[in-house]
Amino acid sequence: MNEIKVGIGNYQAGQRTLLISYGLGSCVGIFLFDKVKHAGALGHILLPGRCEEVAPIRPEKYCYNIVEMMIAHLTGEGSLKKNLVGKIAGGARMFHFITASEKHWIGDKNIESARIKLQKEGIPIKAEDVGGNYGRTLIANTETGILRIKTVKHGIKEI
So which residues are the catalytic ones? Answer: 27
Strand-pair category, 17-24 with 2-5: parallel
Q: Which of 53, 80, 64 is nearest to 119 (CA)?
A: 64
CB 148, CB 137: distance < 8 Å: no
Q: Which of 109, 145, 137 is nearest to 35 (CA)?
A: 145
Eight-state DSSP code of residue 35: T
Q: How far apart are CA 86 and CA 133, in angstroms?
A: 23
